[in-house]
Structure 1
Amino acid sequence: MDDTEYFTSDSSEDELIIAENLLVHTHFILTSSCATRNGGSRSKKKPNINRVAEEGAQRLYEDYFSGASIYTDAQFRRRFRMSRKLFLKIANDVKNSNQYFIRKPNAAGQLGLNYLQKCTAAVRQLAYGIPADALDEYTRMAESTARKCLKEFCKTVETPYEKEFLRHPNEADIQRLLKENEQRGFPALRKNARSSAMQDVERAFGVLMARFAIVKNPARLWNKDDLRSIMRTCIILHNMIIEDERDNVVTFDYMFAYENATTNVPMCSKLDFSAFLTRYKQVHDTAMHYQLRNDLIEHLWNMRGEEE
């Protein structure tokens, strides 16, 4: 008997179907495995939200940066703490210095956030001290993205500007400040130099806190380098604003805002801070959470289970 008689046309078709099914099944297993490793098909992962970044960019542009913007220059300055011209200068410098602020397409080919959206998110957090999640509806970005914008913005602003705007005052600066103080009624010489210097520092820091509420409010970040970068950035921006507005009349009184909207943060000892960390760990302890939940269920069942 010829061996080819065992391989009829029907058996060949069955073998092809079986082989195709095996290939499809193998492909499904490999795809699922890769997706699980990359976090794409985890059951607990929340689906991505389409925030329509393009619409957010267009709205921001029409509100503040178009030729016929909706909001006035005074409103822009109050909300961004600086003039539109200065903000655009800083934003362009940041974009040219850091690739993170250049608009790029995502994996789906859709354009992401532009540099104005990212810089606006960073400046709003500095100015108002608001949490990153509060920017979602307007700037169209997630909480983690807004937080990253703040960190990248501060890190980028330090590099090109610190040499000029974090330097020690020179002779010309000192003479100009003394002249301005005399015009405001402060004598050139004071009896108690140490006391006056302390008052000057407190006054300057008060203006800084009034301009950037993130300095006044409790810190939202834990990393010391991030906090240092934020503080240095606020000082740099403050000095840039002073330089930009030196010859202009400013109507917004930051000292009035500071005196009428202060937040008193009590100083705590190391012992208090250790107790805070202990409470923080307890609140975020998963095992304790489930134990308390089960205890509550058992308590409610013992109290009202018989009633039903």
Structure 2
Amino acid sequence: MEDLCNHDSFWRQKSDATGKMGLLPEQKMTGALRMLAYGAAADQCDEITQMGTSTTLKCLKKFYRHIEFLYGEWFIRPPNYSDLYRLLNRGQRRRFPGMIESIDCMHWEWKNCPTGWVGAYSGRKGRPTIILEAVASYDTHIWHAFFGTPRAKNDLNVLGASNVFEHVIGGTAPQVQFEVNNKRRSTFDKKQEAYRKDVERCFGIIQSRWAILRHSARLFKLEDLRAIMISRIIFHNMIVEDEFVEEEFVEPEEFVKMCE
């Protein structure tokens, strides 16, 4: 709240022409957070925040845009050398040397998609959705996010459109070398499937924390939906960094045997 108030005077409490004090920053933030966390409509927040529908929507749009501007550069960034060392070490302990993170896509249904775009954003199920491509590590921290691709594209098309390999192609990414023994193909597939669950689990956590992502998107502009998604990922990474504690790793099979 302090960062938002310092960034934009909109969040501060001000007096009108008659000298009457306006809304508190806590009221404005509460309205925005209730819409994001509970999936509430703007008119459902008026009894708690004492704000009109138009004011609540204005708070929401300013909130997610300012969050992305203030924190996006740090909380959605490629891993640095310290991060790579930790991630590669965990991959080695999970018997998948050279593995850093896992990548997958998630769909968000777009209820109020403009009529002219419905065909481009609809897939086999006939409902318009927007694809999020994300790269997550074992602790569910998201290191890359690309949002806005229509559902009509498959995962390979999304991969080609995103900038996930931009640093690799440009030669600016840290060098990570590994090799896979062809004789251990079955082991490779088994570990790959286990690692893929990291990003799937990450999608589940984000949707459980932010109900707005569980329900169909009600806003009309694609840019607003992109900003909502990115701001929710930023908050997710904030929580991960705040709660993360490096624990001793135990293989899933070994853990099952211990429980037995």
Shorter-chain TM-score bucket reads: 0.5 to 0.7
Match of 1:143 among 43, 53, 56: 53
Distance of aligned partners of 1:187 and 1:134 in 2 relative to their CA distance in 1, 3 Å threshold: farther
Cα deviations by residue, 1:59-116 (Å, 9 ceiling, x for unpaired): xxxxxxxxxxxxxxxxxxxxxxxxxxxxxxxx11011101210111224331111111
SS in 1 for 2:51: coil
SS in 2 for 1:239: helix
Match of 2:41 among 121, 131, 143: 131
Deviation at 1:180, TM superposition (A): 6.3
Name the counterpart of 1:159. 69
Alignment: residue pair count: 157
Distance in 2 of aligned mates of 1:173 and 1:211: 25
Name the counterpart of 1:191. 188
Are residue 122 (structure 1) and residue 32 (structure 2) matched? yes
In structure 2, give the amino acid aligned to 1:176: R
Name the counterpart of 1:68. none
Kept in 1, the 8 Å contact 2:96–2:188? The answer is no
SS in 2 for 1:112: coil
Deviation at 1:176, TM superposition (A): 3.3
The answer to which structure, 1 or 2, has the higher relative contact order (CA under 8 A, 6+ apart) is 2
Greater percentage in strand: 2
Distance of aligned partners of 1:197 and 1:124 in 2 relative to their CA distance in 1, 3 Å threshold: same
SS in 1 for 2:244: coil
Structure with max Cα Rg? 1
Distance of aligned partners of 1:182 and 1:114 in 2 relative to their CA distance in 1, 3 Å threshold: farther
Name the counterpart of 1:212. 210
Distance in 1 of aligned mates of 2:245 and 2:199: 23
Distance of aligned partners of 1:209 and 1:96 in 2 relative to their CA distance in 1, 3 Å threshold: same
RMSD: 2.6
Name the counterpart of 1:108. 18
Distance in 1 of aligned mates of 2:212 and 2:239: 17
Query: Sequence identity of aligned pairs in percent?
Result: 42
SS in 2 for 1:218: coil
Distance in 2 of aligned mates of 1:145 and 1:92: 20
Cα deviations by residue, 1:115-155 (Å, 9 ceiling, x for unpaired): 11111211121111111111111111111111111110111
In structure 2, give the amino acid aligned to 1:219: A
Name the counterpart of 1:170. 80
In structure 2, give the amino acid aligned to 1:205: F
In structure 1, give the amino acid aligned to 2:13: R
Deviation at 1:247, TM superposition (A): 4.3
Name the counterpart of 1:24. none
Are residue 99 (structure 1) and residue 96 (structure 2) matched? no
Give unmatched runs, 5+ long, in structure 1: 1-90, 249-308
Greater percentage in helix: 1
Distance in 2 of aligned mates of 1:136 and 1:222: 22
Deviation at 1:173, TM superposition (A): 2.4
Distance of aligned partners of 1:180 and 1:100 in 2 relative to their CA distance in 1, 3 Å threshold: farther
Distance in 2 of aligned mates of 1:215 and 1:103: 30
Name the counterpart of 2:176. none
